[in-house]
Amino acid sequence: MRPTRLGLAAALLLIAGGPAAAWEAPRAKPQRIVSLNLCADELLLRLVGPERLAAVTWLARDPRASTVAALAARVPVNHGTAEEILPLNPDLIVAGRYTTRVAVGLLTRLEAPLLELDVPQSVAGVAEQIRGLARAVGEPDRGEALVADLLSRLDALPPAAPGPRPTAVVLRPNGFVAGSGSLVDELLTRAGLENMADRLPLGSQGALPLEAIILGGADVLIVDAAPDAPPSLAGALLLHPALRAMKRQVRTLSLPSRLWTCPGPQIAEAAERLAAAREARP
């Protein structure tokens, strides 16, 4: 037998970036919200109090991955399984478009009150998603406050000097770089940098061989990793001797991935660090 709230709730499958009507506020504020996605964790913990969150993901408590670890310590955690979620009797479940797909599929079939977040690829899309989720949880004013702070910080970035902009490359594990049409690309532009990946036919994201990165002539190397990140095969490329030598010749920035993996208010800090790296010396 389904828990009472799940049995009575109408299916609510929303994709961020869809029609504005999809983000209409509920009749009553959800009081038992469950998150199945780190990016949803970060927004929900900023929009509602811990007392209204029945569970967030276990990643929310990891300060290497999360910008809300202290807040998450006050909320139970889950590991993204439907078996964990159903007994919590949630009145809203927030998932990500590309994560926990098995659980999302089952919850959809059970007509659970489910909302799915997309992955915005622009600052405007980030702002709309924040506003939309804020309306869905009955906190539109908090959403507007988060958006206003984000946009004001981005507008306050120091302007780039006239002339050609410094060229930057964002190097992620396994040699992935962010190209045109991505949120990272827009943040680089706002910070006064030219994305080296824009010169290549990668689309919004793709992998580059190490030789192309070194010979690309970037002025700024941005390593999308935290110094305290655990070792991994994917991250081994970032420790290559050739890259270490490159860091001695160009401006470098180790930017923790938690600042721009998720499209939320924290991207303002990422842009501020990028703008500072633009002016730094090698």
Q: CB 280: neighbour CB atoms within 10 A?
A: 10
3-state percent breakdown (helix, strand, coil) of the chain, nearest 5: 45, 15, 40
Q: Report the C-alpha gap between 238 and 224 in whole angstroms.
A: 9
CATH class of 167-279: alpha beta
| Res 11: pLDDT | 37
**173 forms bridges with which residues in the sheet?**
none
| Res 253: pLDDT | 84
User: From first to last of its 282 residues, what are the pLDDT tens digits of the chain?
Assistant: 344 444 434 334 443 444 333 556 667 899 999 999 999 999 999 999 899 999 999 999 999 899 999 999 999 999 999 999 999 999 999 999 988 999 999 999 999 999 999 999 999 999 999 999 999 999 999 999 999 999 999 999 998 878 888 988 887 766 677 777 889 999 999 999 998 877 665 554 566 667 777 777 788 888 866 556 666 555 666 677 776 777 667 788 888 889 988 999 999 999 999 999 887 765
| Res 196: pLDDT | 83
Is residue 169 helix, strand or coil?
strand
Q: Tens of pLDDT along 242-262?
A: 767 776 677 888 888 899 889
Q: Report the C-alpha gap between 40 and 222 in whole angstroms.
A: 26
Q: Quick one: CA dihedral 132, 137, 140, 141, positive or negative?
A: negative
Residue range(s) in the chain whose domain bears CATH number 3.40.50.1980: 4-153, 167-279
Whose tokens are 């915005």? That residue is: 120
| Res 259: pLDDT | 93
| Res 4: pLDDT | 42
CATH class of 4-153: alpha beta
| Res 198: pLDDT | 72
Q: Report the C-alpha gap between 133 and 47 in whole angstroms.
A: 9
- Residue 248: which of 268, 270, 221 has the closest Cα? 221
Residues 6+ apart with CB under 8 A from 126: 120, 150, 183, 263, 264, 267
Residues 6+ apart with CB under 8 A from 142: 46, 47, 134
- Residue 123: which of 264, 270, 277 has the closest Cα? 264
> What is Dmax (Cα atoms) for the chain?
67
Q: Report the C-alpha gap between 91 and 142 in whole angstroms.
A: 20
Q: Report the C-alpha gap between 1 and 119 in whole angstroms.
A: 34
Residues 6+ apart with CB under 8 A from 141: 134
Q: Report the C-alpha gap between 24 and 50 in whole angstroms.
A: 23
